[in-house]
Amino acid sequence: MITLYGFPASNYYGLIKHVLMLKEIAFIEQRNYAADAEYLLKSPMGKVPCIATPEGFLSESIAIIEYLEGAYQDKPIASSDPYQRAKAIEIMRIAELYIELSARHFLPAILMGTEPSKEAKDKMLPVLKKAFASLESMSTFSPYLMGDSCSIADLCVRYALKTGLMVGDKIFDLNFFGETPKLAQWWKLMNDDPISQQVDSQAEASFPEFMNYLQQAFANKNNP
């Protein structure tokens, strides 16, 4: 039995939960916010999510997915072809490094009401636009990013784009799908999926709890 640690408001938590559900792997969820000493024994960098496996703990989403794909092979989500597998990783890395991580700079502004700097906005906006355009040009959309079935690329890109789209809306007043119509159509396909809807519903329902944790942590930091 797999145990999934973290909190549903995390897009990376949602990604791993989606993988587990798509591959029909039995798992239980353990809510965890704080990177305390006990959690650091499971996830050395304190990152969310991590999983407990029969062999031990694993953190970092790509490592977790690699384990789940290798250990539970009945419903594969990654290609066995070396080039196609590498191409999927290329697409995933573009989404993670240039969309998710670029957009993450603005999460404090969105969640805590701080003002993002003009320098950060001027620096990150071209990167985000280029990354969305790259995904549009690299994917086959037939109808999924790399073929006729949902794969590891679709899942990783979906949960990376969540942050990018939120930042586009709230920071730049911009819809990044405006110049990527094929990507927009794929996004709707993914959002209509029952597993996506279940994961999203849990994330939305748990968001007030997550915000309460953030506010308490902020207050404790400023009032030791």
Q: Are 169 and 123 in contact (CB under 8 A)?
A: no
Residue 76 has pLDDT above 90, yes or no: yes
Are 72 and 125 members of one domain?
no
Q: What is the pLDDT of residue 219?
A: 65
Region 204-209: mean pLDDT is 93
**Domain contains 220:** no
Query: Which whole-number Å values give the CA distances from 191 to 70, 148, 169, in the listed order?
Result: 27, 16, 18
Structure tokens at 135: 């995904």
Choose the weakest-confidence range: 5-14, 108-117, 154-163: 108-117
Q: Does any domain span residue 27? A: yes
Q: Which of 44, 76, 108 is the last residue of a domain?
A: 76
Strands 2-6 and 50-52: antiparallel
Domain boundary (76, 91, 111) is at 76
Domain assignment present for 211 = no
- What is the reported pLDDT for 224? 52
Same domain assignment for residues 134 and 160: yes
Domain that holds residue 161: 82-192
* Angstrom distance (rounded) from CA 29 to CA 73: 22
Same domain membership, residue 112 and residue 10:
no
133 occurs within a structural domain? yes
Q: 72 and 90 in one domain? A: no
Q: What CATH number does the domain containing 35 carry?
A: 3.40.30.10
CATH of the domain at 108: 1.20.1050.10
Number of structural domains in the chain? 2
pLDDT at site 218: 65
Q: Are residues 125 and 185 in the same domain?
A: yes
Structure confidence by residue, pLDDT tens digits, 120-137: 999 999 999 999 999 999
Least reliable range by pLDDT among 34-43, 115-124, 158-167, 213-222: 213-222
Q: What pLDDT, in 10s, does the model give residues 49-68?
A: 999 999 999 999 999 999 99
Residue 114 pLDDT level (bands cut at 50, 70, 90): confident
What's the mean per-residue pLDDT of the chain? 94
Percent of residues, the chain, with pLDDT higher than 70: 96
